[in-house]
Amino acid sequence: MAEWTECMNFGITIARQASKVILEAFRAKKDVMLKSSPADLVTETDQRVEKMLISRIRERYPTHKFIGEESVAAGEKLELTDSPTWIIDPIDGTVNFVHRFPFVAISIAFAVNKQTEFGIVYSCVEDKMYRAQRGGGAFVNDVPLHTSGQEDITKSLVVTEIGAERDCLALCTMTTNIMNLLAIPIQGIRAVGTAAVDMVLVATGGADAYYHIGMHCWDIAASALIVTEAGGVVLDTDGSEFDMMSRKVIAASSMPVAKRIAQVVRAFPCTRDDEDPARVNNGGHCISSGL
């Protein structure tokens, strides 16, 4: 664990540097581009911040590998090997960034032998630095984090996102999931607009669970470790073992809450992050039945 502390501290330093670029652009006029749907946005700042993070890391750790959201969007192969790999979302919550909705985060995970060794989520506008090292606990601005430990789904506040999909199958699935959870009943549904912040709220105890279908490894790899190091549970939406490439996740305060959500929530078909998007006729996005 201590072996990667120096890397994590470097990640924290460059996240703070990148945040300055994001906050300066946050207030400025933005040129917005679309990716996989009318709600899947990217700006020049997303691309610039990712390039800045990767070049600074590469300068210090020339043998390390990268999985970056915008590098993959530009055609780079998404492959997690046993090599030390930085998994980066330069701006998580780009729709929020474009609208100046004050929740945008930099998410940086670091994996070796396909196991996440540390995770950093920097919520820039809030100035909250969430971090965790495997086996070392979870912290926000150096204060220890613990989940709520809630085991009763009827006393739970659940966070989710509608995501970027706008096809009928995805929208029907997402809204049906929300309706079925509310009918249990749970005490509320929230959506912050950034998967990374949604998920670290479970680590803070401010939410009792988060689930989502369709996000990517760079959205959640860091926050998944932060949740487990805060005493939480992270599973696939079908209740099986979490796999950061599956694009389906439940993060919860306890196993009973996680398992209860897995009983209710249904996923729509999604290509895995590590599947060749060329094999899928919609550019690697979640498959729509065209209903």
Q: Which residues bind ligand LZGB4YJL (CB under 6 A)?
A: 40, 69, 89, 91-94, 161, 163-164, 194-195, 214-215, 219
Given ligand LZGB4YJL, Mg ion, none, residue 174, with its beta carbon under 5 to 8 Å by kind, binds none
Interacting residues toward Mg ion by CB under 5 A = 69, 89, 91-92, 219
C-beta separation of 174 from 215 below 8 A: no
C-beta separation of 50 from 41 below 8 A: no
69 carries a ligand binding annotation? yes
In the bound complex, which residue of the shown chain has the CB atom lying closest to Mg ion? 92
**Widest distance between CA atoms in the chain:** 52
Task: Kindly name the residue from 40, 46, 50, 69 that is annotated as catalytic.
Answer: 69
The β-bridge partners of 55 are none
Please confirm, yes or no, whether 219 is among the known catalytic residues. Answer: yes
Please confirm, yes or no, whether 273 is among the known catalytic residues. Answer: no
Please confirm, yes or no, whether 40 is among the known catalytic residues. Answer: no
Please confirm, yes or no, whether 161 is among the known catalytic residues. Answer: no
Task: Kindly name the residue from 43, 45, 85, 94 that is annotated as catalytic.
Answer: 94
Please confirm, yes or no, whether 91 is among the known catalytic residues. Answer: yes
Q: Distance between CA atoms of 181 and 173, rounded to whole angstroms?
A: 12
Least distance from Mg ion to the Cβ atom of residue 119, Å: 14
Task: Kindly name the residue from 46, 50, 70, 89 that is annotated as catalytic.
Answer: 89
Q: Which two tokens stand for residue 139?
A: 């912290």
Q: Distance between CA atoms of 72 and 202, rounded to whole angstroms?
A: 28
Given Mg ion, ligand LZGB4YJL, none, residue 164, with its beta carbon under 5 to 8 Å by kind, binds ligand LZGB4YJL
276 carries a ligand binding annotation? no
3-state SS record for 241-291:
ECCCCCCEEEEECCHHHHHHHHHHCCCCCCCCCCCCHHHCCCCCCCCCCCC
Please confirm, yes or no, whether 186 is among the known catalytic residues. Answer: no
Least distance from ligand LZGB4YJL to the Cβ atom of residue 271, Å: 14
Residue 113's φ and ψ, nearest 5 degrees, are 50, 35
The b-or-e profile of 82-119 (16+ CB within 10 A means b, else e) is: eebbbbbbbbbbbbbbbeeeebbbbbbbbbbeeebbbb
Task: Pick the closer one to Mg ion by CB: 89 or 198.
Answer: 89
Task: Kindly name the residue from 70, 167, 219, 273 that is annotated as catalytic.
Answer: 219
165 carries a ligand binding annotation? no
127 carries a ligand binding annotation? no
Task: Pick the closer one to Mg ion by CB: 198 or 219.
Answer: 219
Given Mg ion, ligand LZGB4YJL, none, residue 50, with its beta carbon under 5 to 8 Å by kind, binds none
| Binding-site residues from annotation | 69, 89, 91-92, 219
| Binding-site residues from annotation for Mg(2+) | 69, 89, 91-92, 219
Which of the residues are catalytic?
A: 69, 89, 91-92, 94, 219
